[in-house]
Structure 1
Amino acid sequence: MYRFLLTPRWLGILALTLVAAAVMVLLGNWQLHRYEGRTAINERIDASEHMTPVPLAEKVPAPTGGPHTAGPAPADEATWTRVTATGRYDTENIVLVRGRTVDRRVGFEVVTPLRLADGSAVLVDLGWIPPAPGGAMAQPQLPAVPTGEVTVVGRVHASESEAGAVDRREGRLETRRVGVPGLARELPYPVYGAYVLLDEQTPAADPAFRAVPIGHTNNWQNLGYVVQWWLFAAMTLFGYGWVARREARRMAGLDGPSAPIDRAAEPTPA
């Protein structure tokens, strides 16, 4: 009844079905890997709220190059951990990160290099401020930044991808994304390979800076994709089996117009 499945045509259909199902399973596995990675990020974010800060160099490798260079990126497990560092802000090289949204308002994040005792620096995101009157791109009036020694506590944030160009406008560095390597090329000292999202500072930061909220990743979306791709794979295999069974019944004359008529079921003429 199913000998036709060994014909070249049906063997080709089977091969295509198996390849399609395998690709869908692999796509589901990839989304599962992304779900696990994003879940780990969310767990680190939650855990960082209660952890005791440790020295910056314990979580992020110190830069070993010369001026205008960035150090190695931290391990994934180090991101979002709380760290502390002491130094002096370089107010001559403040970076304005434009187009950043907080509470549905577009403004700037202010990133300032903190010069450390060994001559290197770490970029510190002091917070968000609104633009000056005139539009979302109008450079803001910056709150005061301490000129003496400060101690910061914050969370390690990996360098952002697709950073784009770094411009100098009205005497200030300006960019769209916090790409540490690109910003390091504009600075006359080596820079750590990640930046710090400020939680607290001694002496206290100006209250005009608004804390940048830390959002959790949407890991459940990836889990939904896992289920979707695996269901597609199962439906593909089921579809092959259903079509093959239908073809077998058709060839046996059990389906369709050619199916045999059960004469015994016909009523006997009066």
Structure 2
Amino acid sequence: MSESVPERGSASLSGRSPSAGEVQRRRTGWRSFLTPGWVITAVVAVLFAYVAFTVLAPWQLGKNRDTHEFNDRLRAGLEADPVPAAEVLPGDGASAGEKSEWTRVELQGRFLADDEVLLRNRPVDGQPAYHALTPFRLDDGLTVLVNRGWAHPVDGTAAPSIPAAVSTPVTVTGFVRMSEAPPNNPPMTADGRLQVYSMNTAMVGDAVDVDLAADYVQLDEASVPVADPGGELSARELPNLDAGPYLSYGLQWIAFGVMVPLGLAYFVWAEVRERRRRRDEVAATGAGEVHGAPGASDATDVPEAPATRSRASKLEDRYGGTRTRFHEKRNARDQDRF
């Protein structure tokens, strides 16, 4: 008795799942980019562009805007003539606000020399320095903290011997400055002087028991000798009118936010172009083998595709021949047995 065994399909014969190459061939268009590598790259590029446009660039451009506003206020204070302090500083002692900072004002009254404190560990040009902070009572009754100037320490870090401010009525000019944040360390007494770590008017007022205005005044270069006849103090230098690199940094982040998505788009386009080129080469090679070889009109002479020859080679290695020869040998064994 002889019974032929029907030939099974190649997929059912091997029992294997489709290879990566077969899956890639079935993916066309944009679906071919739905791979972990491309998806992760696209997500990273989009996130970077979002952060560059919404966080990094506005951060640098905002600093550039603040710097320009600061320079404008300082320039106006340097160019304008001093105005009476009562026109800038509120009578109730509240802060004049950021827009009034660096306004040049004129103070008429007298210093409260007995209530002076020293600002310690405030460097000037990279060198340690002590600043003399002295309350100044205006003729209208408001008391303002005044930075009279600075001096280097002596004997390493010890406070210098700064002469007391003049106690007679005097007129001085300076720049309105906003109070600094309170420090972590409380006031201390060292070298026989009460010392603080910040030009915080509320803290200084509590330390000397004087009701001070919220803002303080930094004396200009012309008024420091008036408040310090001994000539021990130096005027604080004014900040530089420099816009800084913030504008260029902001533009760079904008450029990066544009270039990263454009770079991703370029790589996608290059990948699509390369795949088309390979597909065209494979099509051209196949057409040349079919139409250019001798006897191309005979269907049996058409060469197998590379993938087909590869499967046939695997079957030959596994079963000693092609799939058809394998079935012929099995049928022959069945006939001998029955």
Q: TM-score, normalised by structure 2?
A: 0.65
1:108 deviation in Å?
Answer: 1.0
Across the two proteins, how many residue pairs are aligned to each other?
251
CA distance in 2, matches of 1:166, 1:209: 25
Q: Within 5 Å, which residues of 2 pair with 1:32-51?
A: 32-51=61-80
Mapping 1:95-244, distance limit 5 Å: 95-132=117-154, 134-135=155-156, 137-161=157-181, 163-170=183-190, 171-199=192-220, 200-201=222-223, 204-205=226-227, 206=229, 207-216=231-240, 218-244=242-268
The equivalent of 2:277 in structure 1 is 254
Of 123-132 and 231-240, more deviation after overlay is shown by 231-240
Q: How many angstroms apart in 1 are the aligned matches of 2:265 and 2:88?
A: 54
Q: Is contact 1:119–1:189 with CA below 8 Å preserved after alignment?
A: no
Deviation at 1:80, TM superposition (A): 0.7
Distance of aligned partners of 1:203 and 1:142 in 2 relative to their CA distance in 1, 3 Å threshold: closer
More strand by share: 1
- Residue in structure 1 matched with residue 49 of structure 2 by the alignment: 21
Q: Which amino acid aligns with 1:131?
A: P
1:59 aligned partner, one-letter code: V
Give the 3 Å change call, closer, same or farther, for CA 104–14 of structure 1 in structure 2.
closer
Quote the offset at 1:226 in angstroms: 0.5
SS for the counterpart of 2:121 is strand
How does 1:54-65 map onto structure 2 within 5 Å? 54-62=83-91, 64=92
Q: Which deviates more from structure 2 when the two are superposed, residues 229-238 or residues 198-207?
A: 198-207
Q: Which moved more, 1:37-46 or 1:1-10?
A: 1-10
Q: Which residue of 2 aligns with 1:67?
A: none
**Distance verdict in 2 for CA 1:34–1:253, change over 3 Å:** same
One-letter code of the match for 1:38? T
SS class of match (1:260): helix
Amino acid at match of 1:121: T
Q: Secondary structure at the match of 2:277?
A: coil
Report the CA distance between 1:122 and its aligned residue. 0.7
State which drifts further: 9-18 or 198-207: 9-18
Please tell me whether residue 4 in structure 1 is matched to residue 28 in structure 2. no
Which structure has more relative contact order (CA 8 Å, sep 6+)? It is: 1
Structure 1 residue 152: deviation in Å?
1.7
Q: Is this contact kept in 1: 2:113–2:164, CA < 8 A?
A: no
**Contact 2:178–2:215 (Cα < 8 Å) also in 1:** yes
Structure number with higher helix proportion: 2
Question: Counterpart of 1:105 in 2: which secondary structure?
Answer: coil
How far 1:143 sits from its partner (Å)? 2.3
Deviations 1:186-238, CA, capped at 9 Å, x for gaps:
23232111111102449823222111001126532211320221122112212
Note the C-alpha offset of 1:11.
6.5
Superposition CA RMSD, Å? 2.9
Match of 1:68 in 2: none
Gaps of 5+ in 2: 1-27, 286-338
The 2-side partners of 1:214 and 1:196 are apart by: 13
SS of aligned partner of 2:149:
strand
* Contact 2:117/2:133, CA 8 A, preserved across alignment: yes
- Structure 2: how far apart are the matches of 1:50 and 1:185? 35
- Is residue 88–residue 100 contact of structure 2 (8 Å, CA) maintained in 1? yes
Whether the 8 Å CA contact 1:150–1:201 is kept in 2: the answer is: no
Residue type at the aligned position of 1:92: D
Deviation at 1:241, TM superposition (A): 0.9
Structure 1 residues 215 and 2: alpha-carbon distance in aligned structure 2, compared to 1, 3 A threshold:
farther
Larger radius of gyration: 2
Match of 1:267 in 2: none
- What SS does the aligned partner of 1:178 have? coil
Retained in 1: the 8 A contact 2:71–2:242? no
Q: How far apart in 1 are the matches of 2:244 and 2:234?
A: 29
Q: In 2, distance between residues paired with 1:53 and 1:105?
A: 31
Q: TM-score, normalised by structure 1?
A: 0.80
Shift in Å at residue 12 of structure 1? 6.8
